């Protein structure tokens, strides 16, 4: 039995809804056939976007969607993909399989889709191979309300009102596929690009001092804390020399990318990564301990950021994370199409609980990638769509969005192997504006169930309900058997102290408490 | 600086012999899941005349069609008008015979 304590009166940070975000990249079949099928497709669609996908994403309340990359973003030229579809310039997706894309999914289609989904749009601008003018024009094209040439062009292309930009990324993985830059060079370049990203619909002078678009800097790869330190240092200076009393940052967030590999990371370079369903007990714990390591990594970057930003105004945005397996047999390796098992679900639950617990610094995350690529929540094949175990975890955790984190702790023990140790339970708890408490827990043991005895201090529980995601560790949802892994009701007992619940091995549970 | 995982993965892909890998994969399939040779040939004939098959790859599933055609329980993923629907019927078979 594990004792679990929730201190309901000890409220901590707000869990930004954008922690539950997703990432859509022009990679494999994520955009074309995953999201976009075109208005003339026999597959039911809303303005060319698959209706089944729209409905599924609304169900998990997708809060923010990142696009168009990834590495692809630093090769993307947005003007190729506006205007009449027949006049758009086709491109070769050089990074990912060399396929020809007709650019039928561009700015209008993405922004309209975000409006349909009711989510924020997070666009990644091309710093690596673009220009300052190209990026600032794109911002103006999307969000300009005045009579600029770009706003006029948008109107000519059929959109009168500006769209709302949620976040703007300046470059992606600028230390790698985004241009092989040093942190010093990148930070200087960021300042230049950032300076010219303004939506000058109002007072052009004041827009020089207030960002109208939330800007995200390309951040470190995994443990590279030097990148974080240099970029934070260079972007937290008083660039105008105005000696402002309040320190101004030139960024709202800095990104962090973190992948866990299905096997040894070096297998990535030799093409020997194991497939999603190809793992034994040791692989299970290795992957789970790798996922759990993002906690200390976030703490390390948080410490670097806190030197310049102790009040935590700048967010750490984990805008690429997830499991990277070998591709499914017979599929194009450049498309990175992988399956998704209960192991991926547990990894998602570990990660999301870790993000919740660190929501004072982590303000946004986007799992990679939303459809048909790495740890996807949706798989499609022609007319068919499958919701993966990871999708169900996002469904079970959605009540945390914009709720307030509560102080909580559990008596966890270390399990696994010598070089693959992980805590047996991960948890987080939050309270929404109505006072309803949500607790999400996952049992990382591959073989043992855990009984949870919870004390919820400071409130009296009227009723409790729970949902469970549990199946064989290797179970996955396929096009032939789409419901092998699905959410089921779970018995939970209200006790004088709180509640008790049993979590089967390798499972995820969400408990809802009415007080 | 730590290496970029995406760049490293792409480097690996460029050095790969896809054709040999597909052949190895098909050869590794057990007889209970492998389609018979006649079915495979008929399927590939249908794929070869399909506008959604480019460079041996199907746009609707991301599969190399040779690999997909070799698994008997799989179907053609093309929406509304799957090319393999009549795989045991005369239409596609006749077409295949003509090509021979």
Q: A268 and B57: CB-CB below 8 Å?
A: no
Torsion of CA B10, B11, B12, B18, to 10 degrees: 70
Both structure tokens of A95: 């990074």
Task: Please state, as a whole number, how many other Cβ atoms lie within 10 Å of the Cβ of residue A483.
Answer: 9
Q: A173 and B71: CB-CB below 8 Å?
A: no
pLDDT of residue A238: 61
Q: Given A29, A41, A71, which is nearest B6 (Cβ)?
A: A71
- Residue A374 gets which letter from DSSP? S
pLDDT of residue A197: 86
How far away is chain B from the Cα of A368, in angstroms, using its nearest Cα? 12
- DSSP β-bridge partners for residue A423: A414
Q: For residue A11, report the phi and psi dihedrals to the nearest 5 degrees.
A: -85, 140
pLDDT of residue B98: 44
pLDDT of residue A330: 87
Q: At what angle do helices A132-143 and A107-117 cross, to 10 degrees?
A: 40
Q: At what angle do helices A132-143 and A149-156 cross, to 10 degrees?
A: 60
Taking 60 as the threshold, does the pLDDT of residue A120 lie above it?
yes
Predicted confidence band of residue A208 (pLDDT cuts 50, 70, 90): low
Predicted confidence band of residue A241 (pLDDT cuts 50, 70, 90): low
Rounded mean pLDDT, A266-281: 86
CA–CA distances in Å: residue A19 to residues A69, A323, A402, A442, A452? 18, 17, 9, 18, 26
pLDDT of residue A47: 96
Rounded CA-CA distance A282/A415 in Å is: 11
Predicted confidence band of residue A209 (pLDDT cuts 50, 70, 90): low
Taking 80 as the threshold, does the pLDDT of residue B90 lie above it?
no
Burial of A497 (0-12, 13-18, 19+ CB in 10 A): middle
Cis peptide bond upstream of A70, omega within 30: yes
Taking 70 as the threshold, does the pLDDT of residue A284 lie above it?
yes
Cis peptide bond upstream of A344, omega within 30: no
Strands A120-125 and A167-170: parallel
Using a CB-CB cut-off of 8 Å, the residues of chain A touching B63 are 330-332
Nearest to A153 by CA among A211, A84, A73: A84
Rounded CA-CA distance A399/A411 in Å is: 24
Nearest to A513 by CA among A430, A398, A401: A430
CA atoms within 13 A on the CB side of A144: 20
Taking 50 as the threshold, does the pLDDT of residue A383 lie above it?
yes
pLDDT of residue B19: 79
Nearest to A315 by CA among A12, A16, A100: A16
Burial of A180 (0-12, 13-18, 19+ CB in 10 A): middle
State pLDDT tens for residues A57-92. 999 999 999 999 999 999 999 999 999 999 999 888
Taking 50 as the threshold, does the pLDDT of residue A237 lie above it?
yes
Rounded mean pLDDT, A372-391: 96
pLDDT of residue A240: 57
Q: B62 and A176: CB-CB below 8 Å?
A: no
DSSP letters of A167-192?
Answer: EEEE-SSTTTTTT---HHHHHHHHHH
Residue A173 annotated among the catalytic residues of the structure = yes
Q: A224 and B1: CB-CB below 8 Å?
A: yes
How far away is chain A from the Cα of B47, in angstroms, using its nearest Cα? 15
Rounded mean pLDDT, A490-514: 98
Rounded mean pLDDT, A86-105: 85
Q: For residue A384, report the phi and psi dihedrals to the nearest 5 degrees.
A: -85, 150
Interface test with B, best of A75, A330, A373, A384 (most B CBs within 10 A): A330
Q: Which residues of B touch A (CB under 8 A)?
A: 1-13, 16, 18, 22, 25, 54, 57, 59-64, 67-68, 70-71, 73, 76-80, 82
pLDDT of residue A96: 73
Scanning A354-373 for CB atoms below 8 A from B yields: 372
pLDDT of residue B99: 40
Share of chain A above pLDDT 90, in %: 84
- DSSP β-bridge partners for residue A485: none
E-strand ranges in B33-77 read: 53-54, 57-58
Where is mean pLDDT largest: A197-211, A350-364, B38-52? A350-364
How far away is chain A from the Cα of B27, in angstroms, using its nearest Cα? 12
pLDDT of residue A10: 98
pLDDT of residue A40: 92
Both structure tokens of A39: 């208005």
Burial A422-447 (b: 16+ CB within 10 A, else e): bbbbbbbbbbbeeeebbbbbbbbbbe
- Average pLDDT over chain A reads 93
Q: Which residue of B has its CA nearest to A180?
A: B4
Q: Kindly tell me the sign of the dihedral angle through the C-alpha atoms of A238, A242, A243, A249.
A: negative
State pLDDT tens for residues A399-428. 999 999 999 999 999 999 988 999 999 999
Rounded CA-CA distance A267/A204 in Å is: 52
Taking 70 as the threshold, does the pLDDT of residue B91 lie above it?
no
Rounded CA-CA distance A411/A5 in Å is: 9
- Residue B35 gets which letter from DSSP? P
Q: A175 and B22: CB-CB below 8 Å?
A: no
Q: Kindly tell me the sign of the dihedral angle through the C-alpha atoms of A441, A447, A449, A455.
A: negative
Q: A268 and B1: CB-CB below 8 Å?
A: no
- pTM to 2 decimal places: 0.92
Both structure tokens of A362: 């982590």
Taking 60 as the threshold, does the pLDDT of residue A16 lie above it?
yes
The three-class DSSP label of residue A372 is: coil
Q: How far apart are the first and last CA of chain A?
A: 25
Rounded CA-CA distance A143/A108 in Å is: 12
State pLDDT tens for residues B13-56. 766 677 788 888 888 999 988 999 899 999 999 998 898 888 78
Taking 90 as the threshold, does the pLDDT of residue A101 lie above it?
no
Taking 50 as the threshold, does the pLDDT of residue A173 lie above it?
yes
Residue A101 annotated among the catalytic residues of the structure = no
Whether the Cβ atoms of residue A173 and residue B4 lie closer than 8 Å to each other: yes
pLDDT of residue A204: 47
Q: Which of A114-128, A282-296, B27-41 has the lowest mean pLDDT?
A: B27-41
Using a CB-CB cut-off of 8 Å, the residues of chain A touching B11 are 269
Q: Kindly tell me the sign of the dihedral angle through the C-alpha atoms of A227, A233, A238, A241.
A: negative
How far away is chain B from the Cα of A202, in angstroms, using its nearest Cα? 41
Q: A268 and B12: CB-CB below 8 Å?
A: yes
Size of interface A-B (CB pairs under 8 A): 97
Q: Given A221, A329, A337, which is nearest B67 (Cβ)?
A: A329
Torsion of CA B18, B24, B26, B32, to 10 degrees: -150
User: Which residue stretches of A21-80 are H helix?
Assistant: 51-59
Both structure tokens of B53: 């098959």
Interface test with A, best of B2, B6, B23 (most A CBs within 10 A): B6
């Amino acid at each position: 039995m594990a004792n679990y304590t929730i201190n309901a009166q000890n409220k901590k940070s707000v869990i930004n809804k954008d922690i539950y975000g997703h990432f859509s990249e022009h990679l494999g079949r994520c955009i074309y056939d995953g999201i976009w099928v075109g208005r003339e497709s026999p597959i039911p669609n809303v303005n060319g976007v698959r209706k089944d996908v729209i409905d599924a994403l609304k169900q998990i309340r997708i809060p923010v969607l990142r696009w168009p990359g990834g590495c692809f973003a630093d090769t993307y030229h947005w003007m190729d993909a506006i205007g009449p579809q027949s006049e758009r310039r086709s491109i070769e997706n050089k990074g990912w399989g060399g396929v020809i894309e007709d650019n039928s999914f561009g700015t209008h289609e993405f922004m309209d889709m975000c409006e349909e989904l009711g989510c924020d749009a997070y666009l990644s601008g091309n710093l690596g191979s673009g220009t300052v003018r190209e990026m600032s024009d794109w911002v103006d094209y999307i969000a300009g309300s005045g009579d600029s040439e770009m706003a006029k062009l948008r109107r000519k292309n059929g959109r009168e009102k500006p769209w709302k930009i949620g976040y703007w990324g300046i470059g992606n993985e600028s230390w790698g596929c985004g241009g092989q830059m040093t942190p010093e060079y990148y930070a200087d370049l960021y300042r230049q690009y950032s300076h010219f990203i303004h939506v000058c619909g109002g007072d052009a002078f004041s827009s020089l001092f207030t960002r109208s678009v939330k800007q995200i800097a390309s951040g470190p790869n995994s443990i590279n804390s030097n990148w974080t330190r240099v970029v934070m240092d260079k972007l937290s200076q008083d660039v105008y020399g105005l000696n402002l009393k309040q320190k101004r940052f030139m960024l709202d967030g800095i990104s962090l990318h973190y992948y866990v590999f299905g096997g040894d990371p070096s297998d990535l370079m030799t093409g020997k990564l194991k497939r999603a369903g190809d793992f034994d007990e040791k692989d299970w714990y290795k992957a789970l301990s790798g996922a759990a390591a993002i906690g200390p990594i976030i703490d390390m970057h948080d410490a670097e950021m806190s030197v310049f930003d102790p009040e935590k105004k700048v967010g750490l945005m984990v805008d690429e994370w997830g499991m990277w397996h070998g591709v499914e047999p017979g599929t194009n390796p450049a498309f990175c199409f992988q399956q998704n098992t209960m192991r991926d679900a547990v990894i998602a639950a570990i990660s999301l609980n870790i993000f919740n617990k660190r929501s004072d610094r982590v303000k946004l995350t986007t799992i990679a990638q939303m459809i048909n690529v790495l740890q996807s929540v949706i798989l499609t094949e022609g007319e068919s769509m499958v919701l993966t175990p990871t999708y169900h975890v996002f469904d079970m955790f959605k009540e945390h969005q914009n709720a307030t984190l509560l102080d909580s702790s559990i008596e966890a023990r270390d399990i696994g192997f010598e070089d693959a140790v992980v805590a047996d339970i991960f948890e987080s708890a939050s309270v929404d504006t109505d006072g309803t408490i949500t607790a999400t827990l996952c049992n990382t043991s591959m073989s043992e169930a855990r009984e949870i005895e919870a004390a919820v201090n400071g409130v009296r529980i009227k009723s409790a309900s729970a949902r469970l995601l549990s199946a064989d560790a290797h179970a996955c949802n396929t096009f032939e058997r789409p419901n092998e892994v699905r959410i089921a009701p779970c018995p939970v007992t209200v006790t004088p102290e709180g509640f008790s619940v049993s979590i089967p091995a390798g499972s995820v549970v969400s408990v809802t408490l009415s007080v | 600086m730590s290496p970029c995982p995406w760049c490293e993965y792409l480097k690996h892909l460029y050095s790969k012999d896809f054709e040999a890998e597909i052949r190895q994969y098909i050869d590794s399939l057990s007889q209970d899941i492998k389609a018979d040779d006649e079915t495979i040939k008929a399927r590939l004939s249908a794929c070869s005349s399909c506008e959604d098959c480019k460079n041996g790859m199907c746009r609707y599933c991301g599969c190399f069609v040779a690999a997909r055609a070799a698994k008997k329980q799989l179907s053609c993923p093309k929406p509304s008008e799957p090319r393999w629907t009549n795989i045991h019927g005369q239409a596609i078979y006749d077409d295949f015979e003509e090509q021979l």
